[in-house]
Amino acid sequence: MKLNLKVWRQRDSVDKGRMVNYEVDADEDMSFLEMLDVLNEKLILAGDEPVAFDHDCREGICGACSMVIDGQPHGPQKATTTCQLHMRHYSDGDSIVVEPFRAGAFPVIKDLVVDRGAFDKVIQAGGYVSVNTGSAPDAHATPVSKVAADRSFAAANCIGCGACVAACPNGSASLFLGAKLTHLGEMPQGQPERYERVVNMVETHDDAGFGGCTNTGACATACPKEIPLDVISQLNRDYLKATVAGRRNRG
């Protein structure tokens, strides 16, 4: 099939950037990234620069790929990262617009590559259990109910891609943040630091340039791992408890 691509090209972080049209021949078994590989091979041989984009696992798990396709982060298919989107969902003659994830906290580095370092900063603020290596009790010392473990897993499933931020009109990372707080908050091991964690992580989230949450729900719709919106409710509940009720016991 012949496709008309409109791709965001931007030399570096200071360049203004622009949309550029390309034609590419694709095959229905290709993944979206393989279609871009074909485009890039063509560009290189023609003496042009290939389109830069982040990717690594191409299995939907590393969270590296990050494109807005026809206005949707990771494209049209539900619960699917860009690398797992396949061209059989397109037909001959289609036009496709490809842009980077855009958000205040994710500056563009080049073409479709953005800087998501702010996510790591949010985790640094408390997205962990403070145990040193070697100090752990036997794994069976603390039973964890299957329900809690499953809920925790569903949130821990977040791949840190940033689609939620790109989808949010405010550029908020509340879904990402709520996912980590729920992952740790559902486990007994996460309890001792629970309230301190939420305060520190929210503070860092705001300082990193992410916007506030106004409950549009766009994040959960875009999320390739279907992180449920109620992780944000948990975030809000814990935050309220920690601040208003003065449950912040340390620091």
Partner 1 sequence: MTDAHTTTPVNYSDYETGEPVVDKAGPSGPIETRWERRQFGVKLVNPANKRSKKIIVVGSGLAGGAASATLGEAGYQVSTFCYQDSPRRAHSIAAQGGINAAKNYRNDGDSVYRLFYDTVKGGDFRARESNVHRLAEISRNIIDQCVAQGVPFAREYGGLLDTRSFGGVQVSRTFYARGQTGQQLLLGAYQALERQIHAGTVTMFPRHEMLELIVVDGRARGIVTRDMISGEVETHLADAVVLASGGYGNVFYLSTNAKGCNVTASWRAHRKGALFANPCFTQIHPTCIPVSGDHQSKLTLMSESLRNDGRVWVPKQLGDDRGPNEIPHDERDYFLERKYPAFGNLVPRDIASRAAKEVCDEKRGVGPSGLGVYLDFDDAIQRLGRPAVEAKYGNLFEMYERITGEDPYKVPMRIFPAVHYTMGGLWVDYDLQSTIPGLYVAGEANFSDHGANRLGASALMQGLADGYFVLPNTIGDYIATNNLDPVPDDAPEVLEARRSVDDRVETLLSINGTRTVDSFHRELGQIMWDYCGMERTEEGLRKALDLIPELRREFWNNVKVPGTGAELNQSLEKAGRVADFFELAELMCLDALHRNESCGGHFRGESQTPDGEAARDDDNFGYAAAWEFTGRGQAPVLHKEELEFEYVHPTQRSYK
Which residues are at the interface with ligand FES (CB under 6 A)? 55-58, 60-65, 81-83
Contact assessment for residue 229 and residue 185, using Cβ atoms and an 8 Å cutoff: no
Q: Does 194 bind partner 1 (CB under 8 A)?
A: no
**Collapsed DSSP state (helix, strand, coil) of residue 205:** helix
CB neighbours of residue 176 within 10 Å: 29
Q: Which is nearer to partner 1, 15 or 215 (CB)?
A: 15
Please, what is the minimum distance in Å from the beta carbon of residue 244 to partner 1? Answer: 26
C-alpha pair distances (Å), 92 with each of 1, 25, 87, 89: 4, 9, 10, 10
> What is the DSSP-derived secondary structure letter of residue 13?
S
Q: Does 164 bind ligand SF4 (CB under 6 A)?
A: yes
Amino acid at 187: M
Q: Which of 16, 130, 250, 251 binds partner 1 (CB under 8 A)?
A: 130
Which partner in partner 1, ligand FES, ligand SF4, none is near 163 (CB below 5 to 8 A by kind)? Answer: ligand SF4
How far apart are alpha carbons 128 and 111 in whole angstroms?
33
Contact assessment for residue 217 and residue 189, using Cβ atoms and an 8 Å cutoff: no
How far apart are alpha carbons 82 and 30 in whole angstroms?
12
Stretch that binds partner 1, among 23-31, 94-102, 208-216, 227-235 (CB under 8 A): 23-31
Which partner in partner 1, ligand FES, ligand SF4, none is near 65 (CB below 5 to 8 A by kind)? Answer: ligand FES
Q: Does 201 bind partner 1 (CB under 8 A)?
A: no
Which partner in ligand SF4, partner 1, ligand FES, none is near 7 (CB below 5 to 8 A by kind)? Answer: none
Q: Which is nearer to ligand FES, 96 or 235 (CB)?
A: 96
Within 13 A of 211's CA, how many CA atoms are on the CB side?
18
Binding footprint of ligand SF4 on the chain (CB under 6 A): 158-164, 175-176, 179, 222-225, 227
